[in-house]
Structure formats: structure tokens, C-alpha cells
């Protein structure tokens, strides 16, 4: 068959049961934990927990996920049991939700977030490797674009329903102001359980071959130099890439003087939903464009959008912006850059490493990202509390810009 005909066949065959099943599972999983993401800042506010603690909680959770990704990728490449580990990872998410729903202080919230993010770290690289190997290299961008779009559908519907239920439940009789938030958290457990069942029934692992001779540290040392430079650039960018729970908190803080804390939390939640709508809308086109133009150049463009997001957040505090329209513009930028980042970081990785170490390499990417985000979320939260939110977001923008410039220099 001529090469052009093969590419046409590949382009038509990228949407298969595994890609569809992974997308449905991710949508349900995001429906579960993104509901928490959108209401957590308001939940902490009614419990009297400061912004520094939110940043610390999100940062520690990201760190747990990051180190889990590295180890899970290695275990999967060595032993081959990818699907089982993914199922366990998805199962831990609703467990974490239950712990948060039961909490009355920061400690149990931290534990619940850590459990959920341990599950997220366990499943992420393995699921991504399964999707990558279920399609041809020529259509990875489209497959990942679809997967991230489906992932974000849950991130839209979950918070949207959560915000609606939060508004409905606040008129009911509760013992304290945290009651409506707990109600939403309990309901979010349902899609988390459904995610486990969906992955079990729909997804088939296209490669289940163990590699018992694989050594952890020697494999890390043997990764390509270009990939190591890429990881370094991703890490520097990640030091500024703060958790968007802090962006929700920013909107809540800016809107509270004119709206009150509950309504501000609802509007901030809707802004986060809007961010996810943007991500859903552009994820597949981003993948399609990357398949035709190149994955790395599009990723660099997305990183520049990340810099613009952080700068805009700093300016919003500088000018005390309480316009929902202006804040919606900031969340729009956030949706664009996250769509590019999540759709292409793993596909760029797959282009740089060997197939037999791809899962571990994606895990290494996750570890670098998570470690950097731990530093970023913790730093932004602490600097916000100790100095000012303007300085915190400006600092984040600086690291993101340096990382963007470094990744633009990664070449063959």
C-alpha cells in the first residue's frame, strides 16, 4: 500500500474502542474530582482556612501525584499490568472525595486530596501510554485531542452541576455554612465509581508485555539527552504553573466585596467551568493542528498563552478588577494554554523516547510537572498571603516565561 494510502487509513482509524473508552472514563473521573476543585476554595473559606493552606494542600497533592507517576510508569513497563493499576487509580478518587466530605479542618482535606491525587498519579501515565499505543504515530495528536476534550467534558459538567447544586442547597436548612459544600462532595462520589466501571468494561490494553530486565535508575540515565532537556524546560515552566484552584480563589476574592462570598464562589466556579468549556472546544483542533504542523511548535505557543494568563491574573489584582467579563477573559486564556499543554506534552514525549520505556518516560514527565507544580502552588499561595497576590502571579509568570524560552530551543 502506498504511504499516502497508509496515512489516510490511519487517519480514519484513530477513533477506536480504547480511545473512546478512555475518553468516557476520563470524563467521569474529571466529573468527580473537578467538582471538588471548583468548590474547594469556597469550602475552605467557610471553614476559615487561609489561601496559604489552599496552596499548600494543592501543592502537596500535586507532589504525591508526581512521584507516583514515575513509579507507576516504571512498574507498568517492568511488569506489564497497566490496566489493573489504572483501575486502582480511578478507584482511589471517590475515596478521597469521601474523606474531604467528612472533613471539618485542613488535615482531612489534605489527606483526601492526597488520596485522590495518588490515584491520579497512578493512572495517568499508564492510561496515556495505552491511548498512544492504540493509534498510529501519525494520529496521536487527534487521539489525544479527543481524549483531553472528553476529559474536559467531565470537568465542565461536574463543576457546572456542582455550582448549581451549591446554589440550590444553600437555601436548605444546614447546621453550618459548610453543609451545602458537603452535600455536593458526597454526590461527586457517584461518577467516580462509574469511571472505574467504564474503564473496566470498555478499554483494552493494546500492549501487555512485561520487561522484567528493566532497571529504574539505569533506564532514567539512558533516556535521550534531548528528552532530558525537554523535561528541564517543562520543569522550569511548571514552577510557575500554579494550580488553577488559586485562579478560582483569585476570582472569588476579587468578586466577594461586590457579591458576598457564596455568590462570588458560585461565579468563580462558573468561570472555571468556562475555562473547561474552552478546553473542550479547542483540544481536538489543537491535536489536529499539531499532527499537521508539529507538536513541539504548538506546545511552545501554548506555553506563551500560559505566561499571558499569569500576567493577566497579576494585573487583575493590581487594578482590583471585579468585572466578570474581564475575569472570563483570563479564564479563557487559561483554557487555551491548558488544552495545548495537556494534549501535547505526552505526545512530544512519545516522539522523543523508545516504545519500551515510553510509559516510564511519561511518568518522568508527570513527576517533573507535579514536583514543579508543588513548588509553584505552595509558593504562589504563601507569597499571596505574605506579600500580595500581584507579586505572587508576577513571580509565576517569570518562571513560565523562562520555561517557554527554554522549550523553544529544544531541537533534534
Domain of 59 in residue numbering reads as: 12-205+220-407
Instruction: Give me the chain's average pLDDT, please.
Output: 85
| Residue 412 maps to a domain | no
| Res 212 pLDDT > 70 | no
Number of domains in the chain: 1
Q: How high is the pLDDT of residue 256?
A: 93
| Residue 7 maps to a domain | no
More confident of the two residues 281 and 50: 281
| Res 410 pLDDT > 50 | yes
Across 77-81, 121-125, 195-199, least confident range? 77-81
| Res 194 pLDDT > 90 | yes
For the residues 118-139, what does the mean pLDDT come to? 84
What angle separates helix 295-318 from helix 225-240, to the nearest 10 degrees?
20
For the residues 355-377, what does the mean pLDDT come to? 82
For the residues 50-55, what does the mean pLDDT come to? 75
List phi, psi (to 5°) of 369.
Answer: -60, -50
| Residue 351 maps to a domain | yes
| Residue 49 maps to a domain | yes
| Residue 211 maps to a domain | no
| Residue 210 maps to a domain | no
What is the Rg, in whole angstroms, of the alpha carbon atoms belonging to the chain?
A: 20
Q: How high is the pLDDT of residue 9?
A: 34
Q: How high is the pLDDT of residue 13?
A: 67
| Residue 2 maps to a domain | no
Which CATH number characterizes residue 129's domain? 1.20.1250.20
For the residues 64-81, what does the mean pLDDT come to? 75
| Residue 106 maps to a domain | yes
pLDDT digits (tens, 9 = 90+) for 242-255: 888 889 999 999 99
pLDDT digits (tens, 9 = 90+) for 297-345: 999 999 999 999 999 999 999 999 999 999 999 999 999 999 999 889 9
Amino acid at each position: 500500500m502506498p504511504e499516502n494510502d497508509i496515512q489516510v487509513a490511519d487517519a480514519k482509524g484513530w477513533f477506536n474502542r480504547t480511545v473512546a473508552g478512555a475518553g468516557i472514563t476520563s470524563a467521569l473521573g474529571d466529573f468527580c474530582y473537578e467538582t471538588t476543585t471548583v468548590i474547594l476554595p469556597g469550602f475552605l473559606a467557610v471553614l476559615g482556612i487561609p489561601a496559604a493552606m489552599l496552596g499548600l494542600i494543592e501543592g502537596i497533592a500535586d507532589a504525591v501525584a508526581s512521584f507516583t507517576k514515575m513509579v507507576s510508569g516504571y512498574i507498568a513497563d517492568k511488569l506489564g499490568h497497566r490496566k489493573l493499576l489504572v483501575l486502582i487509580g480511578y478507584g482511589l478518587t471517590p475515596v478521597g472525595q469521601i474523606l474531604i466530605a467528612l472533613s471539618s479542618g485542613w488535615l482531612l482535606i489534605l489527606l483526601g486530596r492526597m488520596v485522590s491525587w495518588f490515584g491520579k498519579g497512578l493512572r495517568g501515565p499508564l492510561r496515556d501510554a495505552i491511548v498512544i499505543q492504540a493509534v498510529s504515530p501519525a494520529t496521536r495528536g487527534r487521539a489525544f485531542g479527543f481524549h483531553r476534550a472528553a476529559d474536559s467534558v467531565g470537568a465542565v459538567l461536574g463543576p457546572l452541576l456542582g455550582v448549581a447544586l451549591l446554589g440550590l442547597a444553600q437555601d436548605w436548612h444546614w447546621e453550618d455554612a459548610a453543609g451545602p459544600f458537603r452535600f455536593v462532595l458526597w454526590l461527586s462520589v457517584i461518577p467516580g465509581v462509574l469511571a472505574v466501571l467504564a474503564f473496566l468494561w470498555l478499554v483494552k490494553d493494546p500492549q501487555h508485555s512485561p520487561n522484567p530486565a528493566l532497571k529504574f535508575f539505569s533506564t532514567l540515565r539512558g533516556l535521550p539527552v534531548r528528552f532530558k532537556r525537554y523535561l528541564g524546560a517543562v520543569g522550569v515552566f511548571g514552577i510557575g504553573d500554579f494550580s488553577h484552584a488559586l485562579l478560582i480563589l483569585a476570582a472569588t476574592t476579587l468578586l466577594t466585596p461586590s457579591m458576598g462570598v457564596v455568590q462570588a464562589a458560585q461565579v468563580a466556579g462558573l468561570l472555571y467551568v468556562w475555562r473547561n468549556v474552552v478546553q473542550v472546544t479547542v483540544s481536538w483542533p489543537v491535536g489536529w493542528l499539531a499532527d499537521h504542523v508539529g507538536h513541539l511548535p504548538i506546545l511552545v505557543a501554548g506555553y506563551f498563552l500560559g505566561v499571558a494568563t499569569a500576567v493577566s491574573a497579576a494585573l487583575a489584582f493590581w487594578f482590583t478588577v471585579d468585572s466578570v467579563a474581564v475575569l472570563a477573559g483570563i479564564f479563557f486564556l487559561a483554557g487555551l494554554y491548558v488544552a495545548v499543554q495537556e494534549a501535547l506534552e505526552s505526545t512530544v514525549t512519545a516522539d522523543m523516547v523508545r516504545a519500551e520505556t515510553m510509559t516510564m518516560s511519561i511518568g518522568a514527565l508527570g513527576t517533573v510537572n507535579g514536583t514543579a507544580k508543588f513548588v509553584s502552588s505552595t509558593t504562589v499561595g504563601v507569597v499571596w498571603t505574605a506579600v500580595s497576590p500581584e507579586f505572587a502571579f508576577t513571580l509565576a509568570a517569570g518562571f513560565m516565561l523562562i520555561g517557554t524560552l527554554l522549550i523553544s530551543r529544544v531541537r533534534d
